[in-house]
Amino acid sequence: MLNELEIQLVTKYILSLNERSDRYGDELVDHVLHRVTYLNYDDGVDWDTYGAICSFRDEFEDEARMAFVERVLQGYSPQVSAKQPQAPCHILAASQFDLKAIELVFKRAQQIEHSSTTSLLHTLQGKTLACVFYEPSTRTSASFIAAMSKLGGNVIPITQGVQYSSISKGESLEDTILTLGQYADAIVLRHPEVGASALAAKVSPVPIINAGDGIGEHPTQALLDLYTIQREFGRTSNLKVAFVGDLANGRTIHSLATLLALYPENEFSLISPFLLKLDVQSTPYLQIKDKVVREIHVRSNILEAEEAILDADVIYMTRVQKERFGFLENYSKVKDSCLLTEDLVKRLKPSARILHPLPRVNEIPKAIDSDPRAAYFREVKMGLYVRMALLDLVMRPTSSWLPNL
Ligand code: NCD
């Protein structure tokens, strides 16, 4: 726990932020500041002490966190200085994130997870988020809306079907984004075309958050999946990961594999019908080429991949994405090829975890939900914290903590 001297030092440091350039060298203060900012209740402090530190931290949180973000970035992106006006920090692809950026997001998510809602309520007060969904969504849209309101901000929800917006009158994506950018401080965008978020980012005056661009990427889902893995296993490395189902169209897999490939000793098994295989060699956003241990193309039944599934730590299930098929006959051929069974789940490693970005169709029977290894609804909850962290960091940047693509 912090002693009185440490607290005084932090207070002094924070009060001197205006003239802080000559104070950056002070390692002790930096160390204490770091401890105050990121201490959490499982760091071994008792509950009362944790409460006291939280109120201390809440009081100074903004400045303390901003100072830390700046410091992290000085090593990360030296050409960017906090004093320069910044271009918006878009979140478009998983490959934008390196280990340091992920750590920053996760620490903030964890801090949020352990903070009271009232202490967070003013964080994004006065800010507005536009949620524009050209494709259906339950979790992604609801969690961004919930995240924004828990941080005290407002939402412009264009999530109930673009048929009610000017998009149905033929308005271009660029014009919609340019318009919403006049009202909102950030825009969450889901769109059926690969690259739509990158296109939006080119014209947007405010940060764009890619909430799924066709079969391309879904970086915020990948971050919450990875955060769930960190919370469930206590690590994000040295894991055997089985990706199962529609690997060709599953954008969450494309982004998650990119993130998991950053960590040492992760190995991947890619389990799908041949028609839905992940094209590891030609997919530009995957760095997992050297980490794939097996590709299994099942014909009719998940048991054809039994060995790989029983060996896995993470079984990442996905649905077959009917809406991406040109010919429904092809969908019918593969839709039931990767269904998890109760018997198979019984035989998983005791420490294994089943993840799924949801929605599920028939690939995980409901009876499996009560198995402690079924982590997919916990994953939903984690998504809220990760998205709160991302909104906070994107809408209150003191420096460009993510490099622009
Ligand atoms: C996924 C998506 O939209 O890519 N869901 C999600 O965002 N939680 C997966 C899917 O639709 O199958």
Tens-place pLDDT, residues 32-73: 555 555 555 445 554 555 555 555 555 555 555 555 444 433
pLDDT band of residue 21 (cuts 50, 70, 90) is very low
Is the separation of the CB atoms in 405 and 90 below 8 Å? yes
For residue 118, the tally of other CB atoms under 10 A from its CB is 9
Classify 252 as helix, strand or coil: helix
Separation of 57 CA from ligand 1 center, angstroms?
A: 36
Separation of 359 CA from ligand 1 center, angstroms?
A: 6
Classify 186 as helix, strand or coil: strand
Ligand 1 atom nearest 218 alpha carbon: 4
Separation of 402 CA from ligand 1 center, angstroms?
A: 24
Residue range 363-376: mean pLDDT, rounded = 98
Query: To the nearest whole number, what is the mean pLDDT of the chain?
Result: 83
pLDDT band of residue 20 (cuts 50, 70, 90) is very low
pLDDT band of residue 400 (cuts 50, 70, 90) is very low
Provide the token pair at 389. Answer: 């962290």
Residue range 164-185: mean pLDDT, rounded = 89
Ligand 1 atom nearest 137 alpha carbon: 3
Higher pLDDT pick, 343 / 55 = 343
pLDDT band of residue 287 (cuts 50, 70, 90) is confident
Question: Which of 68-82, 86-100, 322-336, 361-375 bottoms out in mean pLDDT, i.e. has the lowest?
Answer: 68-82
List pocket residues of ligand 1, CB cut-off 6 Å. Answer: 139-140, 212, 218, 221, 251-252, 318-319, 321, 357-358
Residue 152 has pLDDT above 60, yes or no: yes
Q: Which residues of 314-342 are buried (b: 16+ CB within 10 A; e: fewer)?
A: bbbbbbbbeeebeeeeebeebbebbbbee
Alpha-carbon span 109 to 384, nearest angstrom: 9
Question: Which of 91-100, 115-124, 382-391 bottoms out in mean pLDDT, i.e. has the lowest?
Answer: 115-124
Q: What are phi and psi of 91, to 5 degrees?
A: -115, 100
Question: Which of 5-19, 216-230, 244-258 bottoms out in mean pLDDT, i.e. has the lowest?
Answer: 5-19
Q: What are phi and psi of 165, to 5 degrees?
A: -115, 175
Ligand 1 atom nearest 321 alpha carbon: 12
Of 210, 252, 254, 325, the residue with max ligand 1 atoms within 8 A of its CB, to mutate for a pocket test, comes to 252
pLDDT band of residue 344 (cuts 50, 70, 90) is very high
Provide the token pair at 264. Answer: 């040492």
Taking each helix axis as running N to C, give the angle between helix 27-38 and helix 4-15, from 0 to 180 degrees, rounded to the nearest 10.
100
pLDDT band of residue 83 (cuts 50, 70, 90) is very low
Residue 285 has pLDDT above 90, yes or no: no
Residue range 180-187: mean pLDDT, rounded = 97
Separation of 54 CA from ligand 1 center, angstroms?
A: 35
Ligand 1 atom 11: residue of nearest CA: 359
Ligand 1 atom nearest 139 alpha carbon: 8
Separation of 363 CA from ligand 1 center, angstroms?
A: 14
Catalytic residues: 139-140, 169, 190, 218
Of 247, 358, 378, the residue with max ligand 1 atoms within 8 A of its CB, to mutate for a pocket test, comes to 358
Residue range 236-258: mean pLDDT, rounded = 96
| Residue among 218, 230, 203, 266 at smallest CA distance from 95 | 218
- pLDDT tens-digit series, residues 224-234: 999 999 999 99
Ligand 1 atom 8: residue of nearest CA: 357
Q: What are phi and psi of 29, to 5 degrees?
A: -60, -40
Higher pLDDT pick, 376 / 23 = 376
pLDDT on residue 383: 98
Separation of 380 CA from ligand 1 center, angstroms?
A: 12
Q: What are phi and psi of 188, to 5 degrees?
A: -95, 125
Ligand 1 atom nearest 135 alpha carbon: 3
Of 134, 221, 338, the residue with max ligand 1 atoms within 8 A of its CB, to mutate for a pocket test, comes to 221
Separation of 93 CA from ligand 1 center, angstroms?
A: 15
pLDDT on residue 367: 98
| Residue among 184, 182, 63, 107 at smallest CA distance from 388 | 107
pLDDT on residue 246: 97
Question: Which of 48-57, 157-166, 180-189, 368-377 bottoms out in mean pLDDT, i.e. has the lowest?
Answer: 48-57
pLDDT on residue 64: 54
